[in-house]
Amino acid sequence: MTLVLLSSLAVAGTLADGWRGRSFGPAETISNPPAASCVTNPAAGVRWRCDERVGDAPVQVSYEADDGTFLAVQITCEGQTACATVVQTLSAAWGPPHTTRENEVLSLRFWSDGSSVGGWQYDYLSKSGVAVAHDREVTAKVEAAKAARVSTAAEEL
């Protein structure tokens, strides 16, 4: 287990680094499929949805893009063992969570590294988990650019 976790860290990277060497920002960082199993669904804002592994855990990773910008990554897992591997790997790579909440239904964890943030939710009933990471500054720039275009279009009416 230790060897698997250590090898996972090498590819997870820090929260501020994006995901597996792909920094949040210009979509060129995800212009090519990150894995052979990737499919695209641009209408849903997903540049690539890929079957990948975090350590020995099978996961589905969605690389989300909007307005030519890589905004976020979402990692989903199924099953208690796979999800435990994912959250252990994220905690080791991203550091201890800043906030943790537990109850009989959900386990929640939140990380922050400068403008980058990450969140984890594990549902004890469905035995499924999801992690999301994004950069708030990158997202704010995209939203500001969209708002400016809407304002310009409204003025031209």
Q: Between residues 26 and 12, which one has the greater pLDDT?
A: 26
Average pLDDT value for residue range 12-22 = 79
Average pLDDT value for residue range 85-94 = 92
Written as one letter, the residue type at 61 is: V
Q: Between residues 12 and 63, which one has the greater pLDDT?
A: 63
Written as one letter, the residue type at 2 is: T
Number of domains in the chain: 1
Distance CA 94, CA 19 (A): 11
Domain range for 118:
2-156
Q: What is the pLDDT of residues 46-67, one digit of tens each?
A: 889 999 999 889 999 999 988 8
pTM above 0.85, yes or no: no
Q: What residues pair up with 19 in beta bridges, in sequence order? A: 22
